[in-house]
Amino acid sequence: MKTISILGTGNMGKALVKQAAANLEGQVLWGSRNPQEAAELAKGFRQERIVTGTYEDALQADIIIPAFPAAAIMEWAQANRDRLKDKIVVDIANPFNADFSGFTTAWGESSAERLQALLPESIVIGAFKNTFFRVFDNPVFQDRQSDVLVTGDDEDAVQQFIQRFNPLPFRFLHAGPLANNRTIERFTLLELELAVRYGTYPYISLQVFGIPEAVPVI
Amino acid sequence: MKTISILGTGNMGKALVKQAAANLEGQVLWGSRNPQEAAELAKGFRQERIVTGTYEDALQADIIIPAFPAAAIMEWAQANRDRLKDKIVVDIANPFNADFSGFTTAWGESSAERLQALLPESIVIGAFKNTFFRVFDNPVFQDRQSDVLVTGDDEDAVQQFIQRFNPLPFRFLHAGPLANNRTIERFTLLELELAVRYGTYPYISLQVFGIPEAVPVI
């Protein structure tokens, strides 16, 4: 069974650790700059499933999710390129600019592809891009699960990721190659705009309409 | 009350006319290259609400929906620029390339903005971009409505469009300025890819997750 680690104690880090500890088999390694702080936070979750440690410790896992802002993920990847070799690294970032009016990437680029270019010997998966952190508190809205669009250029890794995370109360959809994050990341900003207009921010995500259930992917 | 016309008897034209005749107040003007053909097709719908005519006749309405392929809309707009002055022109097109592998527009461009640039004295609204024609047969899936993202740079026209079309069994969301079609149109291609993978093509659309209901827009 693939081991999992999540790095960072921000909104997305906490949200992911809480859901992973509640729903996944095995332990979740939670890496923090301050493991003591992570251990304190873990008391509010299903603590027996969580092992807290340093960022360094978290590199041991098979599937590694850095829950940092987009720019910090790039720095972290460059600094740990060798240690991340052959690992599945999950990119959950949206490279918004400072005032959330646009992106630090150009049109036709994506954070996920940039991370893969920085880590040519790792396998990058894009996931949880459209899922604002508050959605993790309640991924089932009016009896319907929020969708997570899972992308990757390595079919086997996409399947492994979906199988491993499928117990979470989201619907995981195979959304094609990493290049699709050019659209997926941009859609997150549109969600943000909609959430503000309709008064639901930061509880916003997406669902694809018309798929009866997430049947085993081809 | 704003009068409505729909041009074209292709899949989207038929789908729009059928839903409009079934749900909207007043008559729907259906413009066709061959009005006789449109009149024949209308017999299958709620016929007393439909007035068939030529493309020329259809220019009389206040809200005009050309249900043509993206390239044909541009030609039609150029040829009818004067007649379309001060009208609301609804762009429903996605400028896919010939083999549906990408777009005829560059990243950071959109069909809706191009149409507005061609028709500076008309008011362009983007709508029904993510809604494949088969969705019109059943816009309510598992008790949930498909979302239509409505965009425009003229707030008043966006509100008028939403008010006029709101009786249709879709959820209409105000999705901001025309520039958001850079993302919205690209998302349609991602939907197509998902629909093929999950075996639902061409029944695919999207829903925004977390908005309790489409409350009156701000």
DSSP secondary structure letters along B140-199: EETTEEPEEEEEES-HHHHHHHHHHHTTSSSEEEE--SGGGHHHHHHHHHHHHHHHHHTT
Which range (A187-201, A204-218, B144-158) has the least confidence?
A204-218
Residue B58, domain member (yes or no): yes
On whether residue A182 sits in a domain, the answer given is yes
Look up the CATH number of the domain holding residue B188.
3.40.50.720
Consecutive H or E run containing B17: helix B11-23
What's the CA gap between A138 and A169, in Å, rounded?
9
Distance CA A68, CA A27 (A): 21
Task: Report the chain B residue with the minimal C-alpha distance to residue A186.
Answer: B183
DSSP H or E segment with residue B217 = none
pLDDT tens-digit readout, A2-14: 999 999 999 999 9
Residue A13 lies in a domain: yes
- Total of domains in chain A: 1
Which pair of structure tokens corresponds to residue A3?
A: 């081991």
Q: What is the pLDDT, as a whole number, of residue B86?
A: 98
Strand partners of residue A61: none
Tell me the pLDDT tens digit for each residue of B42-55: 999 988 999 999 99
- Does the beta carbon of A179 lie under 8 angstroms from any beta carbon of chain B? no
Closest CA to A46 of A21, A11, A15: A21
Q: Which of A144, A175, A190 sits opposite B194 (nearest CB)?
A: A175
Residue B50 tokens read as 């439909």
Asked whether residue A202 is assigned to any structural domain, the reply reads no
* Percent of chain B at pLDDT exceeding 70: 98
Retrieve residue A13's tokens. 């880090």
**Interfacial B residues in 121-150 facing A (CB < 8 Å):** 135, 141-142, 144, 146-147, 149
A218 in B contact zone (CB under 8 Å): yes
Q: What is the pLDDT of residues B60-81, one digit of tens each?
A: 999 999 999 999 999 999 999 9
Residues of A with Cβ-Cβ distance to B207 under 8 angstroms: 206-209
- Where would I find the H helices in chain A? 11-23, 35-42, 55-58, 70-79, 111-118, 155-165, 181-197
> Residues 149-178, chain B: which have Cβ within 8 Å of A?
149, 173-176
Considering the domain boundaries, does residue B212 fall inside one?
no
State which residues form the domain around B98.
Answer: 4-197
Q: Which residues of B touch A203 (CB under 8 A)?
A: 210
E strands present in B83-130: 88-91, 123-126
Residue B71 lies in a domain: yes
Q: A128's torsion region: left (phi>0), alpha (psi -120 to 50) or beta?
A: left
pLDDT classification of A214: cutoffs 50, 70, 90: confident
Pairing label, strands A63-66, B140-141: unpaired
Q: Is residue A218 part of a domain?
A: no
pLDDT score of A217 more than 80 = no
A183 in a domain, yes or no? yes
Do the strands B140-141 and B144-145 form a parallel or antiparallel pair, or are they unpaired?
antiparallel
The answer to whether B5 faces chain A, any CB pair under 8 Å, is: no
Look over chain A and give the mean of its residue pLDDT values, rounded to a whole number. 96
| pLDDT at residue B123, rounded to an integer | 98
Put simply, whether B194 touches A (Cβ < 8 Å) is: yes
pLDDT digits (tens, 9 = 90+) for B3-19: 999 999 999 999 999 99
